[in-house]
Amino acid sequence: MSNPKTEVLTPHNSQLIFIDQQPQMAFGVQSIDRQALKNNTVGLAKAAKIFNVPTIITTVETESFSGHTYPELLAVFPDAPLLERTSMNSWDDQKVRDALKKNGRNKIIVSGLWTEVCNTTFALSAMHDAGYEIYMVADASGGTSQAAHDYSMQRMIQAGVVPVTWQQVLLEWQRDWKNRDTYDAVMELVKEHSGAYGMGVDYAYTMVHKAPERVQHGPTLAPVAAPI
């Protein structure tokens, strides 16, 4: 019997859920730099938008504790409903279950806070109760300590969760650079969110291929030696 987890992620076999990407939850994160966390989360969202991957955003106790979802994330999906919950486990909310089922994809990619609570309970419950495959985006999730994140990732992996990174997901979806309908958008996303990789792409485009710089700027003034 073939293992479905050996099947590469594609835009057609996967869906994405963001769990509690809210400021008060992010304040408690100690396992990853929080600006990097937001960058990776928004980069993952933009990747899903490029490839038209069904995406769910669920929130917990927005008004009483957690605050509003990052505006940069909401800007990617301005029309998406926000599935508000009281439960720490997203699986315990029927709206979430219904949205996942409606999307009709068995591979669920997860980005959420905190790893050791909301991510772990959702992953275990979705696998146990409905047989979903879970792909946990480790660098678009965070825990209240490095140990909390690491041990909860280990627990999930032992249960069958597949650990991934946001850029890994992006490039699995792209798969082949001959796929020109998404190539330009992926390159723009890489330049904006992929750190050293993005800087390397900018360098190659402008210095090797002599493409114009991607932003306009003032004139470059030639060196003028000052008297010594």
Task: Indicate which residues carry an active-site annotation.
Answer: 118
- Best CA proximity match to 135, nearest among 170, 163, 168: 163
Q: Which residue(s) pair with 24 in the sheet?
A: none
DSSP one-letter code for 19: E
Residue 210: left (phi > 0), alpha (psi -120 to 50), or beta?
left
- Whether residue 177 is preceded by a cis peptide bond, meaning omega within 30 degrees of 0, is no
Q: Do strands 82-85 and 107-112 pair parallel, antiparallel, or not at all (unpaired)?
A: unpaired
Who's near 65: CB < 8 A, 6+ residues apart? 24
The backbone torsions φ and ψ at residue 178, rounded to the nearest 5 degrees and listed phi first, read -75, -10
